[in-house]
Amino acid sequence: MANDASAVFDTLSPAVSGGSLADPFTPPADSSLWRKNFLLGAATASYQIEGAVNEDGRLPSIWDTFSAIPGKVLAGDTGAVACDHYHRWEADVDMLASLGLEGYRLSIAWPRVMDAAGVPNRKGLDFYKRLLNRLKEKGITTFVTLYHWDLPQHLEDRGGWLNRDTAYRFADYADLMSRELAGTVDAWATLNEPWCSAYLGYGNGHHAPGLANDRFATQAMHHLLLAHGLAVPVLRANDPASQKGIVANIGRGTANSESAADQRAAHLFEVQHNAWILDPLLKGSYPQDLFELWPGTEPLVLDGDMETISAPLDFLGINYYFRTNVASDGAHGFRDVPLEGVERTQMGWEVYPDGLRDLLTAFRKTYHNLPPIYITENGMASDDQVTDGHVEDTQRISFLKRHLAAVDQAIKAGVDIRGYFLWSLMDNFEWAFGYERRFGVVHVDYSTQKRTIKRSAQWVAKFLKERKARA
C-alpha cells in the first residue's frame, strides 16, 4: 500500500473523481469487507444531532453552557436545534435503513434521562425506547454509547470529572439505562473518547467544560476510566446478552527525522494519545512515560481502581481520523510539524489510512489481551454543497475506500476487526467547529432541515446491496 495518500487520490478513475457511481467500490474478491458478518454502519451522538435541549425535562449539559460562551464555538453555534433529530428520528431511521446500513451507533444524553437526584425522566427514556425499538424492527444492530461528552451541568457544578463522585453517578446512570433498555441494545459503550473529555475538556480547554491544566486532565481521565470500570459489571448484570466495551480515539504520531530526540517525540505523542487510555484498560497501569511528558501530574489512584478499570472487555471501539507529524520540543515533549504537500480534509487533518492499519497491528503486539475491535468512527469533513439535488463528495468516497482497505489489511495481519461505522450518518454540530464542518454521508440544510443523500452514501448503499446480493 502506498504511503503517500495524495498519490493514491490522484490515481482515482475519472469516473469516481467526477462523482458518478459508474465506478463503484468493488473490493478484491478476498477482501474481508465482503464477509456478511463484517458489520457496516454509521454513527452519531446525542448533542450533535438531537437539538430539543429544553424539551421534555432535559436538563442543561456542559455543552449547552460552553457553547453559550462567546468565542468558544465557531460562529457562536450551539446544539440547541442541531439536526432536530429529537423530532425527526422516524424519518432519520427510515433514511438509515434505506441506505442498507446494518449498524447504527448512537449516544444517550445523560441530562435527558435522569435528574440531579437520580430520579428517572420518563419522557426522555421513552424517546430512546421508541428509537431503539424502531431500529430493532428494521433489523439494525444497535451500538449505544452512554457518554458522548454531554455531562449534566449539575455534575460539573460539583467538579465534573475532577470529582470522584461523578464516576459513581455514572454507574447509577448506567444501571438505569441498562435496566430500561435491556434487549434493545446489541452493544454498550461506556464512554466515547475519554482522551477528548479529559484532555480537550480539562487539559487545554478547547472543549467543555473549558478548563486548562495538565494535572486536571490526568485526574479527569482517571475518574472517567473509573466510571467505565464501575459501569461494566452493572451493564453485565442488567443486560447479559449484549456486548460491553469502550470507545477510544487513537492517533498516529510520526517524526520526519531519524534523530533519537524526534523519534522519542513521536513515541511520546502516541503515549499521550493512545497508551494513556489503552494501558490502564488493557494492562491495568498508566504508562510511566506520560509523566515524563507532564512531570508531577500523577493522578490520585485508590486501592483497587486499576483492577476495576482493567476488567475484561467484550470489544474495543476505535475511532481514527489522522496522523500528526512531530519533532522534539527541545525539552520533555513534542511539537507539531505539519507536513507539506499532503492531502488534507476541511478540518486540516491529513488523510493517512496507513496510520489506522499500523496502529491496529502494533496494538495487537503490545496488548496480548486485545479484545475484538470495531472501528466505531472514521470519516472526514468537506465543504459539501448541494447542486441540482446532488452532493458530489468525491474526496470522501476516496477516503472511505482507502480506510476500508487499511482495515482489510489489518484484518489480514491478524487483528480481529468485526465492523466499521462511518462518522457520520449526517452533517451535525461538530463541537468547537459548529456547523461549518460537514462530516455526514447525508447533507443537512440547517435552515430547512432537509436531508440530501450525498454520493458517498449512495456508494456505500450500492456496495451493501451488492454484498447482500452475493451472500
What is the set of active-site residues? 193, 377
Pick the binder of ligand FCB from 67, 142, 192, 272 (CB under 6 A).
192
CA distance 213 to 49: 30
What mask of x and - would describe binding to ligand FCB in positions 352 to 391, judged by CB under 6 A?
A: -------------------------x--------------
Pick the binder of ligand FCB from 439, 441, 444, 453 (CB under 6 A).
439
β-partners of residue 450 are: 445
Q: CA geometry: angle at 59 spanning 58 and 63, to 5°?
A: 110
Pick the binder of ligand FCB from 142, 218, 319, 328 (CB under 6 A).
319
Interface with ligand FCB includes 431 (CB under 6 A)?
Answer: yes
CA distance 72 to 293: 27
148 is annotated as contributing to ligand binding: yes
CB of 399 to ligand FCB, least distance (A): 13
CB of 122 to ligand FCB, least distance (A): 27
Element (H, E) at 41: strand 39-43
Give 78 or 319: the residue with its C-beta nearer to ligand FCB: 319
What mask of x and - would describe binding to ligand FCB in positions 203 to 242, judged by CB under 6 A?
A: ----------------------------------------
Count of residues binding ligand FCB (CB under 6 A)?
A: 12
What mask of x and - would describe binding to ligand FCB in positions 247 to 276, judged by CB under 6 A?
A: --x---------------------------
Pick the binder of ligand FCB from 423, 435, 459, 463 (CB under 6 A).
423
430 is annotated as contributing to ligand binding: yes
Pick the binder of ligand FCB from 193, 279, 343, 393 (CB under 6 A).
193
- Pick out residues in 46-75 that bind ligand FCB (CB under 6 A): 48
- Pair 289, 282: CB distance under 8 Å: no
3-state secondary structure 298-354: CCCCCCCHHHHHCCCCCEEEEEEEEEEEEEECCCCCEEECCCCCCCECCCCCECCHH
State whether residue 64 is helix, strand or coil. Answer: helix
State whether residue 440 is helix, strand or coil. Answer: coil
Give 52 or 422: the residue with its C-beta nearer to ligand FCB: 422
CB of 428 to ligand FCB, least distance (A): 8
C-alpha cell at 65: 453552557
CA distance 443 to 390: 9
423 is annotated as contributing to ligand binding: yes
Those residues with Cβ within 8 angstroms of residue 87's Cβ, 6 or more apart along the chain or in another chain = 51, 52
CA distance 67 to 151: 13
CA distance 379 to 402: 11
Give 408 or 430: the residue with its C-beta nearer to ligand FCB: 430
Rg (CA), the chain: 21
CB of 320 to ligand FCB, least distance (A): 10
CA distance 461 to 455: 10
CB of 149 to ligand FCB, least distance (A): 7
Checking DSSP bridges between strand 334-336 and strand 315-328, what pairing results, if any? Answer: antiparallel
CA distance 62 to 310: 28
Give 238 or 249: the residue with its C-beta nearer to ligand FCB: 249
- Give the distance from CA 76 to its chain's centroid: 23
Give 219 or 249: the residue with its C-beta nearer to ligand FCB: 249
CB of 284 to ligand FCB, least distance (A): 25
What does the longest C-alpha to C-alpha distance in the chain come to? Answer: 62
**Residues that bind ligand FCB in the complex, under the rule CB under 6 A:** 45, 48, 192-193, 196, 249, 319, 377, 423, 430-431, 439
Indicate the annotated binding residues. 48, 148, 192, 321, 423, 430-431
Indicate the annotated binding residues for substrate. 48, 148, 192, 321, 423, 430-431
